[in-house]
Amino acid sequence: MHRISAKILLGVAVFLAVILQANTLQAQDAAKLFKANCASCHKPTDQKLIGPGLKGIRSRWPDEAKLIAWIRNSTEFLKTGDAYANKLFEEYGRSVMPAQNLSDAEIIAIIDWTDKGGDAPAAAAADGAATADGAGAAAAETSSDSYLYILIIVGLVLLVLINVLNSVKSSLESLVNEKKGIVVEPEPIRTPTEKFRIWASNNKKIVAVISLLLVIWVLKQGWDGLMGIGVYQGYAPEQPIKFSHKLHAGDNQIACVYCHSGVEKSKHANIPSANVCMNCHMYIQEGPQYGKEEIGKIYAALDYNPETRTYGPNQKPIQWIRVHSLPDHAYFNHSQHVAVGKIECTSCHGPIDSMEVVQQHSPLTMGWCIDCHRKTEVDKDNKYYEELHKQFVNDPKYKKGDKFTIGSLGGLECSKCHY
């Protein structure tokens, strides 16, 4: 009985793993792969970004083998002298598409997905600015992980089933024994841990399968974390002090620059030190929601005694957890956008003043930066741009009706954002 059920369980688990794995590579993983490797330059729609929109891509590339070769390494492919590819390359100002370390199956999944124009929620997530709150991205994440959860749940259900079958079996046996008049010694009483240990040593295969699934799951979580997958829109880590932007910037109307004083002058918007908090919390010692508890953590960081109003020697900075983070190779400057470009914090960070916990509102992908640079028109009346606007209009390539955007200023040049 035990032997057979272990084999069945193993078989079912492997079968399910294969089926579910194969299915998910098509839809969610394609969206994820696209987001990780292509979304900085392409949209899964008709719209251009750095490269062409990829909707209906199969109609432009009737030969799938060529299309795969092109996506894997376009520089190599151009050397074959393919006329269409070389024309496209010239058309896009000889921009080089990075070589991709992807399998055929992964590339085909991306092609299938984009050919249809992407699916609604994931396309919106890749599209960036279009998603209001990152719910789309979060949904795509969960569904792609869910097959592992399903496997674990199926495993647990099978376990319960086996146990039930076993107990049915033993009660049948005792019934038969009773009929035959055989007296069986009652089983010794055991604690649940002992029972589990005995069960585990009788069912080594089941234990092995479950441990294997757990290990795979843990590895996958770790891998996703490393690749930064899922730590995009909607990321809202719990902070060491329950600091609420809604309470401070919303209800109490404290200006953003009061605390983030660097934002108009420098590249970075600084996080305020605990001393800035003390400007008010020297006096405000209790909060409406958490009483003295959370404000007490400010005092603890400064080794401050609110009774005697004295600071001690054991001060340590509050370890705020970073929410927004661009990779090192990308250059972003706050003062350029806030002071010169006159862009509101909320255009990029969303409704911070109604957030209890800060969350990443925008995708912060290259596509997102480029999209805004392409769409945003420069204020011609701003003295700062007067000279540049003259140059733009006098350029021989200028056609009447061309829009004077951040892109026309050079905001689409690779070197402006990459060192």
Kindly identify the residues of this chain, within the stretch 361-380, that bind ligand HEC according to CB under 6 A: 364-366, 368-370, 372-373, 376
Question: Rule CB under 6 A: which of 163-192 touch ligand HEC?
Answer: none
Provide, rounded to whole angstroms, the least separation between the CB of residue 157 and ligand HEC: 38
CA-CA distances (angstroms) from residue 114 to 31, 61, 87, 229? 9, 13, 22, 19
Site for ligand HEC in 301-340 (CB under 6 A): 320, 322-327, 330-332, 334, 336-338, 340
117 lies in the site for ligand HEC, by CB under 6 A = no
Interacting residue with ligand HEC among 20, 47, 139, 287 (CB under 6 A): 287
* Interacting residue with ligand HEC among 10, 12, 20, 50 (CB under 6 A): 50
Q: Shortest distance, CB of residue 104 to ligand HEC, whole angstroms? A: 12
**Which positions from 59 through 98 interact with ligand HEC, judged by CB under 6 A?**
60, 71, 74, 88-89, 92, 95, 97-98
- Phi–psi pair at 291, nearest 5 degrees: 60, -130
Contact call for residues 257 and 249 (beta carbons, < 8 A) = no
Among the listed residues 360, 336, 335, the one whose alpha carbon sits nearest the alpha carbon of residue 410: 336
For residue 267, the minimal CB distance to ligand HEC (Å) is 7
Q: How many residues interact with ligand HEC (rule CB under 6 A)?
A: 96
Q: Work out the burial of residue 306: count CB atoms within 10 Å of its CB; fewer than 13 is exposed, 13-18 middle, 19 or more buried.
A: middle
- For ligand HEC, the closer of residues 48 and 205 by Cβ is 48
Closest CA to 147 of 13, 24, 14, 12: 24
Largest CA-CA distance found in the chain, in angstroms, rounded:
109
Nearer to ligand HEC among residue 12 and residue 88 (C-beta): 88
Distance (Å) of CA 216 to CA 17, 210, 224, 243:
11, 10, 12, 36
**CB contact at 8 A, 294 and 287:** yes
Footprint of ligand HEC on 223-282 (CB under 6 A) = 239, 241-243, 245, 247-249, 252, 254, 256, 258-260, 263, 268-269, 271-272, 276-277, 279-281
Closest distance to ligand HEC from the beta carbon of 12 (Å): 35
Listing DSSP states for 316-339 in one string gives: ----PPP-----TTB---HHIIII
Site residues (CB under 6 A) for ligand HEC, limited to 378-407? 406
Cα separations (Å) of 133 from 231, 248, 348?
Answer: 14, 21, 12
Q: Which range binds ligand HEC by CB under 6 A, 9-17, 22-30, 168-176, 411-419?
A: 411-419
Enumerate residues 11-40 that contact ligand HEC by CB under 6 A.
Answer: 37-38, 40
CB of 31 to ligand HEC, least distance (A): 12
If the CB atoms of residues 9 and 338 are measured against ligand HEC, the closer one turns out to be 338
Taking the complex as a whole, the smallest distance from the CB of residue 147 to ligand HEC amounts, in Å, to 23
Please choose, from the candidates 97, 124, 98, the residue with its C-alpha nearest in 3D space to the C-alpha of residue 35: 124
Contact (Cβ atoms closer than 8 angstroms) between residue 230 and residue 363: no
- Rounded CA gap, 419 and 414, in Å? 9
Judge contact between 9 and 20, C-beta under 8 A: no
In the bound complex, which residue of the shown chain has the CB atom lying closest to ligand HEC?
287
Contact 73, 37 (CB under 8 A): no
Shortest distance (Å) from residue 220 CB to ligand HEC: 21
Min dist. Cβ of residue 353 to ligand HEC (A): 4
